[in-house]
Amino acid sequence: MRLLKDVANGCHPFATHRQQQGAGHFGFRLLSVQSYCPLSNMSLVNKPKTVEAEETRIHRIRITLSSRNVKNLEKVCADLKRGAVDKNLKVSGPVRLPTKILRLTTRKSPCGEGTNTWDRFEMRIHKRIIDLHAPSDIVKQITSISIEPGVEVEVTIADSA
């Protein structure tokens, strides 16, 4: 008798979908399992997920730019800083490091005879540092800008302590 009452109320686990939706062979509309049986809703309770609970970590990110061409270097620095400010990130820099000057002195004459004349060549390497405090996925978006030719970019990521 109890089994018939459960089936009529739609709480029985063997009640078919057709019986739960409309008039079955009992001749009246059955209630759905979720609306009548209080214990049947146990599986529908939203459980907190560990993935959503985990916050995005904010990292200290140092971007080091170096180039022989100052104009290209300053343009890339301005683009990076503009992108970080648009995303409302904490930015410090660009910090201008001292220019490294590499000098090479050679003799002009190939045979070594004649007047001792010398050529002096030099290469200037300019360096800039930009520090950011942001999640690593946002930094990927910022650093996806077009980088001028001759500009080398080095990204260092550290955990914010």
Q: 79-100 pLDDT, tens per residue?
A: 999 988 988 889 998 999 999 9
Q: Which domain holds residue 94?
A: 59-109+116-159
Q: Is the pLDDT of residue 115 over 50?
A: yes
**Average predicted confidence (pLDDT) for the chain:** 76
Are 25 and 88 members of one domain?
no
State the average pLDDT over residues 119-124: 96
Confidence band, pLDDT 50/70/90 cuts, at residue 119 = very high
Are 145 and 70 members of one domain?
yes
Of residues 112 and 14, more confidence is placed in: 112
State the average pLDDT over residues 57-79: 92
Does 32 fall in a domain?
A: yes
Does 49 fall in a domain?
A: no
Please provide the DSSP assignment of the chain as one string: -HHHHHHHHT-STT--HHHHHSB-TTSSBPPPHHHH-GGGGGGGSPPPPHHHHSPPPPEEEEEEEEES-HHHHHHHHHHHHHHHHHTT-EEEEEEEEEEEEEEEEEES-SSS-SS--EEEEEEEEEEEEEEEEE-HHHHHHHTTSPPPTT-EEEEEEEE--
User: Total structural domains in the chain?
Assistant: 2
Are 130 and 78 members of one domain?
yes
| Closest C-alpha among 151, 130, 154 to residue 72 | 151
Confidence band, pLDDT 50/70/90 cuts, at residue 30 = very low
Q: Which of 11-20, 83-92, 101-110 has the highest mean pLDDT?
A: 101-110
pTM: 0.59
Are 36 and 93 members of one domain?
no
Does 53 fall in a domain?
A: no
Of residues 51 and 80, more confidence is placed in: 80
Are 104 and 137 members of one domain?
yes
